[in-house]
């Protein structure tokens, strides 16, 4: 799957077959996960809650023991290395700032643990607070910080000891949308500048795509897909990934030549698609509205204004509902009858789900 075979000096983190079980019964929280993170890379693990993302971070941090598998940091096995000797940083989901310390006390904590001299500590804290946009906040009480400010302090605290790997658990989860979008850009710039290696987990695809060099989608403790944000977005590997990304136009199909037979009728498929049964995804952008008599006849069930476009929910004469996107001025009213056609370049053939194998 990855081009970088074998452990090179570039490989900062390597997980091999990591498995974690909570309790004896039920499926494992992590099921034989393999994951590599190269130095200076920003990797974002994306998945719904309960998919094992946070457990993954805790295993790397040394806060959770793996029942099987290995964690290598810079090529060295970390089993038996306690959390405080691993030299990795973890920014907790709800920050976990120390309430009884002020901002400086929080940011300098990791430096004190490494016995940094006072002067160096003060200099580093000042630099980092500048970096996260809170210059001069050293003496402020944690309780007086807003959510966004706490976020920045937590980030500065995690960065201060210069961890070889920085891990972020839902880094922007609790912030409002505007702040989140601004911070994502800031964070990416910051990590680039510092050359920090980052492993983040989130359930928010927007956050993951904006932040990451590489996205890892998790499902039920397993890795469902790995790739650049563009790859994952354009070519979701499985139906789970497609649906998690918000694509719901997924149907069973049988490919024959340049088209596939679906409940919606014939749908064109990209060149080179193998014949046979499969699952098909049609992105909303690939659903073209036509004049009523042409194409598949549908009724408009709902329309939602999305700012740049209008999302339509269409009920076809046969088969499941179809989502479509169109410009505002072309958008039909609810209840109107329209016809639809499909564009081959927006059609993705998905891997069959593993359970069907």
Partner 1 sequence: MAVPLAFFALFFAYPVVAIVGRGLKDGGQWQLGRFGAVLGDPDIAHVLWFTVWQAAASTGLTLLIALPGAYVFARFAFPGKQLLRAVVAVPFVLPTVVVGSAFLALVGRGGLLDELWGLRLDTSVWAILLAHVFFNYAVVVRTVGGLWAQLDPRQEEAARMLGAGRFEAWRRVTLPALGPAVAAAALMVFLFTFTSFGAVQILGGPTFATLEVEIYRQTAEFLDLPTAAVLTMVQFAAVLGVLALHALAVRRRESALRLVPAAQTAHRPRGRGQWALLWGTLGVITVLLIVPLAVLVERSFDGPDGYGAGFYTSLRSAATADSTFAVAPLDALWNSLAYGAAATAIALVVGGLAAAALTLPRLRRGPSGRTACVSRFVRGFDALLMLPLGVSAVTVGFGFLISLDTPPLDLRASWWLVPLAQALVGVPFVVRTMLPVLRAVDGRLREASAVLGASPWRVWREVDLPMVRRALLIAAGFAFAVSLGEFGATVFIARPDQPTLPVAVARLLGRAGELNYGQAMALSTILMVVCAAALLILERLRPLDHSGEF
Contacts with partner 1 by CB under 8 A lie at 61-63, 82-90, 92, 94, 96, 98-101, 109-110, 113-114, 141, 143, 157-158, 161
Beta strand segments in the chain, E: 11-20, 30-38, 42-46, 68-73, 76-77, 88-91, 165-169, 198-202, 214-219, 222-227, 250-256, 259-262, 265-268, 276-282, 287-290, 296-305, 310-316, 322-326, 337-342, 347-350
Structure tokens at 43: 């990797």
Q: Which is nearer to partner 1, 14 or 157 (CB)?
A: 157
CB of 162 to partner 1, least distance (A): 11
Question: Least CB distance from residue 198 to partner 1, whole Å?
Answer: 15
Sheet bearing 68-73, strands edge to edge: 30-38, 11-20, 68-73, 76-77
Q: Least distance (Å) from partner 1 to the CB of residue 338?
A: 45
92 or 233: whose CB is closer to partner 1? 92
3-state SS, residue 247: coil
CB of 144 to partner 1, least distance (A): 12
- Residue closer to partner 1 by CB (options 57, 347) is 57
Gap between the terminal Cα atoms of the chain? 19
Kindly give, in sequence order, each residue whose CB lies less than 8 Å from that of residue 227, ignoring residues fewer than 6 positions away.
214, 215, 235
- In the complex, least distance from residue 140 CB atom to partner 1, rounded to whole angstroms: 12
Closest to partner 1 by CB, 113 vs 334, is 113
Q: What is the distance between the alpha carbons of residues 325 and 309, in angstroms, rounded to a whole number?
A: 7
The CB-side HSE value for 238 (13 A sphere, CA atoms) comes to 17
- H/E element, 244: helix 239-244
Closest to partner 1 by CB, 161 or 284: 161
Q: How far is the CB of 133 from partner 1 (least distance, A)?
A: 21
- Measured from the CB of residue 29, what is the shortest distance to partner 1 in angstroms? 16
Q: How far is the CB of 350 from partner 1 (least distance, A)?
A: 38
Is 61 or 340 the residue whose CB approaches partner 1 more closely?
Answer: 61
Residue 346: closest CA among 234, 236, 245, 262: 234
Pairing between β-strand 310-316 and β-strand 296-305 as defined by DSSP bridges: antiparallel
Which is closer to partner 1, CB of 85 or CB of 329?
A: 85
Pick 63 or 318: Cβ nearer partner 1: 63
Q: If you count DSSP H runs as helices and E runs as strands, how many of each does the chain have, helices first?
A: 9, 20
Residue 15 contacts residue 71 (beta carbons within 8 Å):
yes
């Amino acid at each position: 799957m990855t081009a970088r075979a074998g452990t090179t000096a570039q490989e900062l983190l390597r997980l091999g077959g990591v498995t974690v079980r909570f309790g004896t019964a039920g499926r494992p929280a992590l099921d034989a996960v393999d994951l590599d993170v190269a130095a200076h890379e920003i990797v974002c693990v994306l998945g719904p809650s309960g998919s094992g993302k946070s457990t993954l971070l805790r295993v790397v941090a040394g806060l959770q023991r793996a029942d099987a598998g290995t964690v290598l940091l810079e090529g060295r096995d970390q089993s038996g290395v306690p959390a405080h000797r691993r030299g990795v940083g973890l920014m907790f989901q709800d920050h976990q700032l120390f309430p009884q310390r002020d901002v400086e006390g929080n940011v300098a904590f990791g430096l004190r643990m490494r016995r940094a001299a006072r002067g160096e500590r003060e200099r580093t804290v000042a630099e980092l607070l500048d970096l996260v946009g809170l210059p001069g906040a050293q003496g402020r009480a944690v309780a007086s910080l807003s959510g966004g400010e706490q976020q920045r302090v937590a980030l500065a605290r995690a960065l201060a000891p210069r961890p070889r790997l920085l891990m972020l658990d839902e880094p922007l989860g609790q912030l409002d949308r505007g702040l989140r979008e601004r911070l994502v850009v800031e964070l990416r710039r910051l990590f680039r500048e510092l050359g920090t290696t980052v492993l983040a987990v989130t359930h928010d695809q927007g956050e993951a795509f904006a932040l990451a060099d590489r996205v890892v989608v998790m499902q039920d403790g397993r890795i469902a897909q790995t790739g650049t944000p563009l790859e994952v977005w354009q070519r979701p590997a499985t139906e789970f990934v497609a649906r998690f990304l918000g694509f719901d136009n997924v149907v069973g199909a049988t490919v024959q030549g340049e088209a596939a037979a679906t409940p919606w009728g014939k749908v064109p498929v990209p060149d080179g698609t193998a014949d046979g049964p499969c699952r098909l995804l049609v992105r909303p952008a690939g659903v073209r509205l036509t004049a009523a008599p042409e194409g598949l006849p549908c009724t408009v069930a709902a329309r939602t204004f999305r700012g740049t476009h209008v999302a339509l929910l269409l009920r076809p004469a046969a088969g499941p509902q179809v989502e479509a996107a169109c410009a505002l001025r072309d958008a039909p009213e609810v209840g109107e009858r329209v016809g639809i056609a499909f564009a081959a370049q927006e059609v993705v053939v998905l891997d069959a789900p593993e359970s069907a194998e």
